Structure 1
Amino acid sequence: MSFTDLSIAADAKILPIQEIAERAGIPDEALELYGKYKAKIDVNSLPAAVGLGKVVLVTAISPTPAGEGKSTVTVGLADAFKQLNESVIVALREPSLGPVMGVKGGATGGGFAQVLPMEDINLHFTGDIHAITSANNALAAFIDNHLHQGNSLNIDPRRITWKRTLDINDRALRQVTIGLGGPSGGIPRQDGFDITVASEIMAVLCLATSLEDLKERLASMVIGYTYERIPVMVRDLGVEGALTLLLKEAFKPNLVQTIEGTPAIIHGGPFANIAHGCNSLMATNTARRLADIVVTEAGFGADLGAEKFMHIKSRKGGFHPDAVVIVATVRALKMHGGVEKSLLGGADADAVRRGMVNLAKHVDTIRQFGVEPVVALNRFVADSEEEIAEIMSWCEAADVRVALTNVWEKGGAGGLELAGLVKEELERPKDFSLLYEESDSVEEKLRVIVQKVYGGADIQLTDKAQKQLVELKKFGWDALPICMAKTQYSLSDQPKLLGRPEGFTVTIREIMPKLGAGFLVCLTGDIMTMPGLPKQPAALKMDVGPDGEAIGLF
C-alpha cells in the first residue's frame, strides 16, 4: 500500500487542542479555540517566564526540485526530542496558498513527521494570511481614496510604491491599470499585485514584539513619494490604528500539534527568496517561554533563510540559534553534481561527490556565525549505501557531525540520532557573531553577503539601484539590515548555476526600503514578488469527497 502525506494525516489520532495546551503549559485563560484542534494563544495571559528555551534552527542545502524535506526534518526532530522526554515545541511558518495550489506544496512536514490538522493548516488555517491581505489592500484603498478626495499630501501617483496583494500565484496581476471608469472611478494610475507573503505587512507582523510595536512599524511603512520626492508614510495617512485593528487577532500565535502530539506553534509565513523567510518573533519567543528547546526553521538554503534568520530575526529578537541543523539529501546532492532530475533513480556516488561542494559551502556559512552545524542526511528509499557512504566519509573528513535521518517513515524514532547530536551541540559554549554591522554601508553589507555567504566575487548595482542608494542615504535609511531577494536554487543570482559556483558577480537591480519591517529588500536576477502558476498546477489533483474530506492535497 502506498502512503501519501494526506492519507497518513487522515489516519492519525489527533488530540483535542486543550490537551496539547496542557502539555505546553498554556492555561485555559490563554487559549482561544478555533474548533477542536486549533487555537490562538493570548500571550498576555501566559504565566511569567521562568527561563527562555534554547533555539535549534533547521536550514538546508540549496533546494532542488528533488526536495530536501526540511520541514519534515524539523517536525521529526521535535518529535525525537519529545521521545527523549525533553521539553520541546516546534515553531513553523504558515503555508501560503500560492505554493500549495502551485508546485512547491505545503509547509506542514510529511509522512509521519507532520503537523495536524494538515489540510486546515495548508488552506485557510485561522485566517492570518487573509487578515494580512485585507490590511494590505485596505491601505491600498486608503491611498487611492486620498488621491480621489483631493490629495492633500501631494502624493505623486507615479511614485506610489505600495502594491495590492493576493495569496495565490497570479502572473496576470503583476502590472495592472486601476481607476478607470471616469471621475467616479478614482484617479487612473499604474499599479500591481504582490503575493501576500511578500507584503511588508507580513514582515512587520513577523518582526513585531507587541501590539504597540506592530502599530509603530505599520505607521513607519513608506507608501510612496510626493511630487517633491519627499517620502510618504502610513502615519501621514493616519490609518495605522485601523490596520492594527485588522491584524490584532492575526498577531496572536497559533497552536496545533504534530502526529506524535508535540506542541507546535505556527505563525507568519514570509517567503525566504523574496522576504526574510522565518516564522514570527511572537511565535518563537512564546515557544521559548514555554519549552526548554524550540525547534524552528528558516526557508530554503542557508544562503537565504539562515542568513536572514541571523542578520534580521536574531538581531531584532535579541537571541541567536544555539544549534543549527543543515538538511541534505542524496538526490539533491546528485543534482548539484550534474544529474538531471529524470535520472536520479540510478545510483551515482561520483555525482554525490561532485555535489558535496554545495553542502560544504553551507557548512562554511554557518561556521562563520560561530555555530557548529549538524548535518541531517534525510534518507530516501532509492538512496544506495555507496552514495550514503560518500556523504558520511566527507563529513568525517571535514569534522562535521552527521546523522542519517528517516523521520518521514519512522517519525520521531527516525530522528533520535540527530536529536542526540543536536543536544550535545546545545550544551557547547558558543561564540556567535554577525557578519556585518547595521552601521556598515549598504555596499559593504551587500559584499559581505555575496562574498562570505554566497561565495561570489563582487556586486554590481544597476543605474536604478544606484539612484535608489543615493536616495536611501539622503533620508538616512541606509543603516538597516539587508534582505536579499534571490533565487533559491543557486548560491548565485543565476538559477541554473548549481553546486558551488565561484567568481560570479551578483547584480542588484533594485533596492526597496521597508522601514516598517526594518530592512532593505535588494532585488537580484529575475526574482518575482508575484509568482506564476506552472503548466500543471497542484490544484488539478485536488478535490473534496462526499463527507468533506480533502482529496489530492499532497
Structure 2
Amino acid sequence: MKLRPLSEVASALGLSSEDVLPWGRDRAKVSLDALPRSRRQGRLVLVSAINPTPPGEGKTTMSVALAMGLRKRGRNAVAALRQPSLGPVFGVKGGGTGGGEASLEPAADINLHFTGDIHAITTAHNLLAALVDNALFHGSPVALESTRVRWRRALDMNDRFLRNVIVGLGGKAHGVPRETSFDITAASEVMAILALAENLKDLEARLGRIVVGQTPDGAPVRAADLFAAPSMVALLKDALMPNLVQTREGGPALVHAGPFGNIAHGCNSVLATRMALAYGDEVITEAGFGFDLGAEKFLDIKCRASGLWPRGVVLVVTLRALKHHGGTPSARLAEPDSEALRRGFEHLEKHLESVATFGLPAVVCVNRFPQDSEAELDELRAFTRARGVESAVCDGFSRGGEGSLELADRVLEMLDRTDAAPPRPRFLYTLEQSPEEKIRAIARTVYGADDVDFTPGARKDLETLRELGGATLPVCMAKTHLSLSDDPTKLGRPRGFTLTVREVRLSAGAGFLVALTGEILTMPGLPKEPAARRVVVHEDGRVTGLMQGE
C-alpha cells in the first residue's frame, strides 16, 4: 500500500519541518523542542480491556480504530501507543501494531528494528551491567559485594535458557564468578525510566538513582556511584525522542517506549503522551493487558508521576473472551453460548467497578469478530445499558475508520460530558502508606482478593528496600494477565482467594517497587510453535507473517 508522505502527516498535526527528524522514509523522531511550542491541551482517552484469552482481544487494533474513527468525524485525533517488543513478535503474540485495516504503518518496520530505541535501551542496560562487573573485578570506584549485586543483563528476545546463568568463569583474570540472569528488555528498569523521563536531565537523574547492589556493609550502590549515568544518556539521547508514524488511513501516531504490562508498568512514554496532547484534539493511548494490570499502573504510576489524567476509559471486550471467562472451552469460543456469555458478564462487571473506583466514565468497545451473532451482541448491549454504561460495536479491523464511527461517537459523547468538570486524579493509595498496604489496596480493590500473603523471601525484600529508602514509592504489580487473580486458571470473577507476593524488587530510578506474584517470569520463553516460524521475506523485501492471521 502507498503511505502518505510523513512530512504531510507531521504538517497536518502542526509540527514544523524543524521538529521532525526523518529516520528513513516512513519513520521520524520528533524533537523535544516541539513540546513547549504548543499551548493546546487535548483530551486524553485511556483504552484498556477485560482479561484476554491467550491470543489477546485486539486492544491496540481498537485504539488505532478509534483514532481513525475520530478523524473521520473531523477531529484531530492522535494515537499515542507503545512500541512492540521482539520477544512477543517472534513468540506467542506476534506483532503489536494493530491489525487488518486498523493498523500502524510501516507495520513490519515498527515491529522489527523501528528507530533503534529498544536496541539503545538494551545497550545502555548492558553497559551498566559491564560497569557493575568491572567495579566488582577492580574493587573501585566503589566496593561491591558479589552476592548482593542486583543488576541483571537484558536482551530483547524470549530466551528461557538465560533465566539463570553463571558469569565470570575462566579464572581470576576473567572475572568474579557469580550467579545472575537476563531480563527481557521490555522488563528492564531502563525501559521504565525512558518511558517516565521528562527530559534529558530527568533521564540522567533517574538513571543515576538505579540501585545496582550493595557494599559489604549493606550500603546501597547506585549507578551514579559508578559514574554510569552520563554514558547511558549518550546511548539514549535519541531514543528519548518520540517516534512519529501513521495509521493505515494516514492519521498521526506517536509510538514510543514499550514496558511490558504484566511485568512492568505497560504504558507508552510520558513524553509521547505530552507531545500528542500538545498537538491533538483527542489522544488515544493504551495500557498493557487488562484494566487490572495496565490501567491500574497507568493511573497509579504514570499519572501520579506526570500529573496527567484521562477524561475517560474505553474498555475493550470480545464475545469470545466473555465466553472464555464464562467457561466455554477454547475449541468452542467461536460458537454461540449464551449461558457462558452471561456468566462472563460478571467478569466485565468487576472491571467496570474498578473503572468507577478511579472516578472515570467508561465506554465498552466490542471488537466484533466475524462469527459474533447479533443476538449475543444485543445481550451485551443490554447488560452495559442496565449499568449506565454505553457500548459500541467496532468493525475497525475489517473496515478501518468507517467501521469505527459508532465507537467514535460514543467516546465523543463521553468526553463532551466531562468538559464542564473533568475527572480529577483519584489514586488507590497514598505514597505514605506502607508497601504492604499499597499492595493490599490494589489486590482487594482491583483484583477482588480477600487478602495478600507475603512469602518469607518477599518479607525479607521489603525489609531491605526500606533500608534502601524505597518504602514511599508506588507499586508496580507483576501478575498474570489471564486472570484477575494470580492464578491464570481462575477465570471469571474469582472470589475468596489470597494473592501471594513472592518477591519485591526496588526500581529506584523508575520510581516504583515491583511486586512479583505467581509464576511471572521477567524473561519469557518461546512456545512450542513460535511466531518466528511463519515469517516470510519476499523477493521485493516485504516481510509478512509478523501479525496473527497474516
Same fold (TM over 0.5): yes
User: 203, 208, 217: which is aligned to 1:228?
Assistant: 217
Structure 2 CA distance for aligned equivalents of residues 368 and 102 of structure 1:
35
1:324 is matched with which residue? 313
1:43 aligns with 2:32: yes
Q: Could you list the per-position Cα deviations for residues 239-295 of structure 1 after superposition, in whole angstroms to 9, with x for gaps in the alignment?
A: 110001000000100000001111000000000100000000010001111112100
1:238 is matched with which residue? 227
1:530 is matched with which residue? 523
CA drift at 1:503: 1.2
User: 473, 479, 492: which is aligned to 1:499?
Assistant: 492
1:469 is matched with which residue? 462
SS of corresponding position for 2:464: helix
User: 478, 481, 484: which is aligned to 2:474?
Assistant: 481
> 1:270 is matched by which residue type in structure 2?
P
2:183 is matched with which residue? 194
SS of corresponding position for 1:299: coil
| Contact kept? 1:66, 1:341, Cα under 8 Å | no
> 1:458 is matched by which residue type in structure 2?
D
1:20 aligns with 2:20: no
User: 399, 409, 412: which is aligned to 1:410?
Assistant: 399
1:268 aligns with 2:257: yes
Aligned length in residues: 543
> 1:441 is matched by which residue type in structure 2?
S
> 1:464 is matched by which residue type in structure 2?
G
Structure 2 CA distance for aligned equivalents of residues 195 and 186 of structure 1:
24
Gap runs ≥5 in structure 1: 1-11
Structure 2 CA distance for aligned equivalents of residues 175 and 431 of structure 1:
45
CA drift at 1:476: 2.8
1:169 aligns with 2:158: yes
1:548 is matched with which residue? 541
1:110 aligns with 2:107: no
CA drift at 1:508: 0.7
> 1:124 is matched by which residue type in structure 2?
H
1:435 aligns with 2:428: yes
User: 185, 195, 208: which is aligned to 2:174?
Assistant: 185
CA drift at 1:33: 0.5
| Contact kept? 1:371, 1:430, Cα under 8 Å | no
CA drift at 1:152: 4.8
1:539 is matched with which residue? 532
CA drift at 1:214: 0.2
> 2:479 is matched by which residue type in structure 1?
K
User: 388, 395, 402: which is aligned to 1:399?
Assistant: 388
> 1:521 is matched by which residue type in structure 2?
V
Instruction: Normalising by structure 2, report the TM-score.
Output: 0.97
1:515 aligns with 2:504: no
1:284 aligns with 2:277: no
SS of corresponding position for 1:28: coil
| Contact kept? 1:66, 1:331, Cα under 8 Å | no
Structure 2 CA distance for aligned equivalents of residues 456 and 49 of structure 1:
44
CA drift at 1:65: 2.3
Q: Could you list the per-position Cα deviations for residues 6-48 of structure 1 after superposition, in whole angstroms to 9, with x for gaps in the alignment?
A: xxxxxx3311211111111110111110111100001214562
SS of corresponding position for 2:392: strand
Structure 2 CA distance for aligned equivalents of residues 382 and 218 of structure 1:
49
CA drift at 1:469: 1.4
Q: Could you list the per-position Cα deviations for residues 373-427 of structure 1 after superposition, in whole angstroms to 9, with x for gaps in the alignment?
A: 1000111110112211221111121111101111001111111111111112112
Residues 328 and 45 (structure 1), Cα distance of their counterparts in 2 relative to 1, 3 Å cut: closer
1:421 aligns with 2:410: yes
| Contact kept? 2:384, 2:391, Cα under 8 Å | yes
CA drift at 1:471: 2.2
CA drift at 1:202: 0.2
2:138 is matched with which residue? 149
2:286 is matched with which residue? 297
CA drift at 1:187: 1.3
1:34 aligns with 2:23: yes
CA drift at 1:151: 4.0
> 1:426 is matched by which residue type in structure 2?
L
Q: Could you list the per-position Cα deviations for residues 173-192 of structure 1 after superposition, in whole angstroms to 9, with x for gaps in the alignment?
A: 00111111122211111111
Gap runs ≥5 in structure 2: none
SS of corresponding position for 1:155: coil
Structure 1 stretch 179-188 or stretch 373-382: which is displaced more?
179-188
SS of corresponding position for 1:332: helix
Structure 1 stretch 150-159 or stretch 335-344: which is displaced more?
150-159
| Contact kept? 2:55, 2:93, Cα under 8 Å | no
Structure 2 CA distance for aligned equivalents of residues 345 and 439 of structure 1:
48
1:450 aligns with 2:443: yes
Structure 2 CA distance for aligned equivalents of residues 46 and 458 of structure 1:
44
1:77 aligns with 2:93: no
> 2:489 is matched by which residue type in structure 1?
K
1:307 is matched with which residue? 296
Residues 47 and 471 (structure 1), Cα distance of their counterparts in 2 relative to 1, 3 Å cut: closer
1:120 aligns with 2:113: no
Structure 2 CA distance for aligned equivalents of residues 161 and 238 of structure 1:
17
CA drift at 1:346: 1.5
> 1:411 is matched by which residue type in structure 2?
G
Structure 1 CA distance for aligned equivalents of residues 26 and 174 of structure 2:
45
1:207 is matched with which residue? 196
Q: Could you list the per-position Cα deviations for residues 297-340 of structure 1 after superposition, in whole angstroms to 9, with x for gaps in the alignment?
A: 00000000000000001111101011110000001111001112
Structure 1 CA distance for aligned equivalents of residues 268 and 476 of structure 2:
15
CA drift at 1:543: 2.1
CA drift at 1:545: 1.2
Structure 2 CA distance for aligned equivalents of residues 233 and 315 of structure 1:
24
1:136 aligns with 2:125: yes
CA drift at 1:86: 0.7
> 1:420 is matched by which residue type in structure 2?
D
User: 239, 243, 249: which is aligned to 1:250?
Assistant: 239
1:371 aligns with 2:360: yes
Structure 1 CA distance for aligned equivalents of residues 500 and 293 of structure 2:
16
Structure 1 CA distance for aligned equivalents of residues 207 and 467 of structure 2:
22
> 1:300 is matched by which residue type in structure 2?
F
Instruction: Normalising by structure 1, report the TM-score.
Output: 0.97
SS of corresponding position for 2:37: coil
CA drift at 1:345: 2.3
Structure 1 CA distance for aligned equivalents of residues 415 and 2 of structure 2:
32
Q: Could you list the per-position Cα deviations for residues 215-251 of structure 1 after superposition, in whole angstroms to 9, with x for gaps in the alignment?
A: 0000000001111111110011011100010000001
Q: Could you list the per-position Cα deviations for residues 326-375 of structure 1 after superposition, in whole angstroms to 9, with x for gaps in the alignment?
A: 00000111100111211112111111101111111111101100011100
| Contact kept? 1:27, 1:46, Cα under 8 Å | no
1:3 is matched with which residue? none
